[in-house]
Amino acid sequence: MTSTTEQTQRGGINVARLLMSFGPLMFLALLIIVFTVLKPSFIDPINIFNIMRQISITGLIALGMTFVILTAGIDLSVGSLLAFCGMVAAVVAKGGTANTLSLSTSGTQGFGWFAALLAAVVVGAIAGGVQGFAITRLKVPPFVVTLGGLTVFRGLTLTISNGGPISGFDASMRWFGTGLIGPVPVPAIIFAAAAILCHIVLRYTRYGRAVYAVGGNAEAARLSGLRVDRILISVYVIVGFFAGLAAFVLSARLNSSEAVAGIGYELTVISAVVIGGTSLFGGIGSVGGTVVGAALIGVLQNGLQFNNVSSYTQSIVIGLILILAVAFDRWLKSRVRR
């Protein structure tokens, strides 16, 4: 019976899906317990909400990245794209590229938060679409296209802002980064809502099925009548959209869009997806796993900082625990299979 349950992992009922992310999830629980024992204030609601707010930025991008990696693709440009979209949002919000900070942060002459949000996600989606187009039409591997994108978008961002940040947004925009609904931070709510939406799309729609199929076997997908190129382009649009959304939230949170934002995010984001059990070779994975992966990284970083572990030691511990978490997952799966 175990086996049958185990077999349902790639598309079964919720219990089975939980089992799938079992390894990382158990590891996450373990970490939380250890940190709480070390310092009970770790599970203070304040700190938990801190962690949720912290993982929301890379978490949002990781949701989009899950789609991409499910098709056996990759997107290295997300960090730069985040900076680019953030800068675009800032320009729209402030109505210009002035690097200088206006005296009063409330009175901006820009177009308001909605225009800024729209600009960020539309620019992100278009940028993603262009990359998807290059991947499918020019037949350049995703790794190369998005590596190119990584440097191109960073260059564009620096050009727009001339290297400096654009800062000072009005309160309505800042709410998306710093506001609370009840006790819960807005970014965490945005992330949770987006995660649920992505889960539904991947799990319960024909589009989601198609994404898995393309990643599972692109040739078979083509011969089964799927428009593989369109699906591939769409996943890069999705990750671009989420990079834009994350950029908006980050800018709102920091009250500033920086040209150096998001450097190295690609690795954090991809780690979250991969630790969550999504295969880099496509076709296997889930949104739930990605959320757990992102949470694992967030808890680990926060917990070590919480205990004021030296940054050198932090690096070592984080690296080892990431490997261990995945190793534990594999071991657990191999046990369940027997």
Partner 1 sequence: MPAEATAPSPSPALLAVEGVTKRFAGVTALSDVSLEVRPGEILGLLGENGAGKSTLLKILSGVMPPSSGRIVFDGVEFNPHNPQDAKRLGIVTIYQELSLIPTLTVAENIFIGRAPLGPLGLVSWRKMEEDSRAIIARVGLDLDPTTPVSALSVAEQQLVEIARALSLKSRLIIMDEPTSALTETEVQKLMSIMGRLRKDGVAIMFVTHRLEEASAICDRMTVLRDGRLAGHLDRDGGPIKLPKIIEKMVGRAASELYARPTLRDVAGDVRLSVRGLRTVRDPQAPHAIVLEGVDLDLKAGEILGVAGLVGSGRTELARAIFGADRIAAGTITLDGKTIAPETPADAIALGIGLVPEDRKHQAIFAALGILTNFSIAALGRYSNAAGFMTERREREALASYRKTLSIRMASPEQPIEGLSGGNQQKVILARWLARDPKVLIVDEPTRGVDVGAKAEVHQILVQLAARGIAIMMISSELPEVLAVSDRIVTMRRGRITGEMPGIEATEEKLMELMALDQTQEATQ
Partner 2 sequence: QDKLTILGSVPSLGFPFFVHMLNQIKAEAQAQGVNLTESDGQNSAPKQTADIEAALVQKVDAIVISPLDVNALAPAIEQAVQAGIPVVTIDRRVDGVEGILAHVGADNVKGGEAEAQAMVAAFPNGAKIFHLQGQPGAGPAIDRNKGVHNVLDPLKDKYQIVFEQTANFARAEALSVTEAGLAANGKPDAIICANDDMALGAVEACAARNFTDVKIYGFDALPEALVAVRDGKLAGTVEQFPGEQSRTAVQIAVAYAKDKTEPKEKLVLLTPIVIGKDNLDKAERLGETK
Asked if 219 is part of the footprint of partner 1 (rule: CB under 8 A), the reply reads: yes
Q: Least separation, in Å, of the C-beta of 277 and a copy of itself?
A: 10
Q: Does 122 bind partner 1 (CB under 8 A)?
A: no
Spatial contact of 169 and 102, defined as CB atoms under 8 Å apart: no
Among 18, 33, 101, 330, binds a copy of itself (CB under 8 A): 330
Report the partner that residue 138 touches, choosing among a copy of itself, partner 2, partner 1, none (CB closer than 5 to 8 A by kind).
a copy of itself
Between CA 177 and CA 249 the distance in angstroms is 5
When binding is defined by CB under 8 A, the residue of 14, 104, 308, 311 that contacts a copy of itself is 311
Q: What is each CA distance from 334 to 10, 30, 217, in whole angstroms? A: 16, 20, 24
**Minimum distance, C-beta of residue 119 to partner 2, in the bound complex (Å):** 20
Among the candidate windows 9-17, 93-101, 201-209, 320-328, which touches partner 2 by CB under 8 A? 93-101
Binds partner 2 (CB under 8 A): choice among 198, 261, 274, 287: 261
Residue 219 contacts by C-beta under 8 Å, 6 or more apart in sequence?
A: none
Degrees, nearest 5: CA angle 142-143-147: 110
Long-range contacts of 5-14 (CB under 8 A, 24+ apart): 6/333, 6/336, 6/337, 10/212, 10/284, 11/203, 11/212
Q: Residues 6 or more apart from 25 whose CB is under 8 A from it?
A: 18, 292
**Of 12 and 179, which CB lies nearer to partner 1 in the complex structure?**
12
Residues 193-232 vs partner 2: string with x where CB under 8 A? Answer: ----------------------------------------
Q: What is the closest distance, in whole angstroms, from the C-beta atom of residue 280 to partner 1 in the complex? A: 13
Is 305 near partner 2 (CB under 8 A)? Answer: yes
Distance CA 103, CA 189 (A): 31
Q: Which residue has the tokens 């625990």?
A: 321
Residues that bind a copy of itself (CB under 8 A): 76, 134, 138-141, 143-145, 147-156, 158-159, 163, 267, 270-271, 274-275, 279-281, 311-320, 322-323, 326-327, 330-331, 334
